[in-house]
Amino acid sequence: MRSHADSARAFLETAIQDHSGDPRFHAALGLAYAYLGRKQDAVREGTRAVTLYPVSKDAAMGPIYILNMAKIYTITGEYEKAIERLDYLFSVPSYEFLWHFVSVSCLNLDPTWDPLREHPKFQQMLE
């Protein structure tokens, strides 16, 4: 996985030079950095994506970048922050596209969230 994340990182760092305003590249680079253990870089890039495409700009697609931050925080061990993002996503009106990624069923099945499973707030959220 590390070699794939590093390949993605190299591609995305170059892509961002030409497309610095595209939140998709920043979000993906944030995940690549997270998998490489580069926590500060991961959070910076994920936050940049959220800033470029906030929920206030697009209520249907903006939450995807909040979900991305939850993944970054989970990967980097910031479980409280990850759960805060997921809790927020449950509090906003959901669109069918987002619901496929953020639902109780999905959170129960997706291994991305395995590190959160024993956390009391995560368990409470799923109830």
Q: Are 92 and 80 within 8 A, CB to CB? A: no
Burial of residue 92, with CB atoms counted within 10 A of its CB: 0-12 exposed, 13-18 middle, 19 or more buried: middle
pTM, rounded to two decimals: 0.92
Residue 3 sits at φ, ψ, to 5 deg, of -70, -35
Amino acid 5: pLDDT: 94
Other beta carbons within 10 angstroms of residue 49's beta carbon come to 26
Amino acid 80: pLDDT: 97
Mean predicted lDDT score pLDDT of the chain: 92
Q: Is the pLDDT of residue 115 over 90?
A: yes
Q: What is the pLDDT of residues 57-113, one digit of tens each?
A: 988 889 999 999 999 999 999 999 999 999 999 888 766 566 667 888 889 889 999
Q: Is the pLDDT of residue 19 over 80?
A: yes
| CA 32/CA 34 separation, integer angstroms | 5
- What the block records as the tokens of 59 is 């209520």
Amino acid 100: pLDDT: 62
Amino acid 92: pLDDT: 81
CATH number at residue 81: 1.25.40.10
| CA 29/CA 41 separation, integer angstroms | 9
Between the two ends of the chain, the Cα-to-Cα distance in Å is: 32
Those residues whose C-beta lies under 8 Å from the C-beta of residue 79, and which sit 6 or more positions away, are 73, 115, 116, 119, 122
Number of domains in the chain: 1
Which residues form the domain of 101?
A: 2-126
- What the block records as the tokens of 88 is 């927020």
